[in-house]
């Protein structure tokens, strides 16, 4: 840990700005992001989470609920009624994978993609406000760096799920209009559109 880095400019304590607290900075930015996005997305069933799910589902192959939960750092049990509510409003759809009838592939409906477009605009507007302290190129730079760091650290999560190999299934014309079955009846008590 002697850190023989050729960076003598960084002294451990003598820095005039020892407040380079990564945790604090990230917490502040994320907190404000969350606040404002929640406010801007009050109509979406679960606010920012609904947005994340919708965005994750709207590109590429329909992921399974487990894959979604892992990617979005949401517990499986939470994902269940999150999707329940999104499905109830017709934004996403659960379809049983014909190749493995245990898993449910979540895909966005046309309406969902439509809604996502507008929502994304609002979110981007919020993000510009949140990153107002940076000029435009710095904003882009910051986004890129954050993304790179996130992807890398997400892949390097050893304890959780070792192999999240995405099955290359689906894409065929197998129909399953029978729906998900949706065995259970109602959700927990006040699990409405939140709030």
Computed on alpha carbons and rounded to an integer, the radius of gyration of the chain in Å comes to 20
Contact criterion met (CB below 8 Å) for 82 and 188: no
Closer to a second copy by Cβ: residue 76 or 143: 143
Q: For DNA, which stretch binds (CB under 7 A), given 13-21, 133-141, 146-154, 175-183?
A: 175-183
- Window 84-123: residues binding DNA (CB under 7 A): 84, 94, 100-104
Q: For a second copy, which stretch binds (CB under 8 A), given 6-14, 81-89, 174-182, 183-191?
A: 6-14
Does 75 participate in binding DNA (rule CB under 7 A)?
yes
Does 32 participate in binding a second copy (rule CB under 8 A)?
yes
Cα–Cα distance between 160 and 177 in angstroms, integer?
A: 34
Tell me the per-residue interface mask from 64 to 103 with a second copy, x by CB under 8 A, - otherwise: --------xx------------------------------
Tokens of 95: 């379809």
Contact criterion met (CB below 8 Å) for 71 and 62: no
# residues contacting DNA (CB under 7 A):
28
Q: How far apart are the first and last CA of the chain?
A: 48
Tell me the per-residue interface mask from 141 to 160 with a second copy, x by CB under 8 A, - otherwise: xxxxxxxxxxxxxx-xx---
Neighbour-count burial of 178, counting CB atoms closer than 10 A to its CB (0-12 exposed, 13-18 middle, 19+ buried):
exposed
The answer for residues whose C-beta is within 8 angstroms of residue 42's C-beta and 6 or more apart is 195
Does 78 participate in binding DNA (rule CB under 7 A)?
yes
The residues that touch DNA, with contacts defined as CB under 7 A, are: 64-66, 69, 75-81, 83-84, 94, 100-104, 180, 182-185, 187-188, 190, 194
């Amino acid at each position: 840990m002697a850190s023989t880095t050729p960076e003598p400019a960084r002294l451990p304590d003598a820095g005039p700005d020892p407040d380079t607290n990564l945790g604090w900075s990230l917490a502040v930015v994320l907190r404000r992001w969350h606040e404002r996005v929640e406010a801007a997305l009050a109509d979406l069933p679960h606010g920012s989470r609904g947005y994340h799910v919708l965005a994750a589902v709207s590109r590429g192959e329909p992921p399974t609920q487990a894959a979604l939960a892992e990617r979005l750092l949401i517990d499986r049990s939470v994902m269940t009624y999150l999707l329940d509510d999104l499905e109830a409003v017709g934004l996403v759809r659960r379809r049983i994978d014909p190749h493995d009838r245990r898993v449910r592939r979540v895909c966005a409906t046309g309406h969902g993609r439509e809604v996502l477009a507008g929502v994304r605009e609002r979110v981007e507007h919020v993000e510009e406000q949140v990153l107002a302290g940076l000029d435009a190129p710095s904003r882009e730079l910051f986004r890129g760096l954050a993304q790179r760091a996130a992807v890398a650290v997400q892949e390097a999560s050893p304890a959780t799920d070792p192999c999240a190999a995405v099955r290359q299934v689906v894409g065929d014309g197998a129909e399953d209009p029978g729906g998900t079955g949706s065995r259970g009846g109602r959700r927990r008590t006040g699990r409405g559109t939140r709030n």
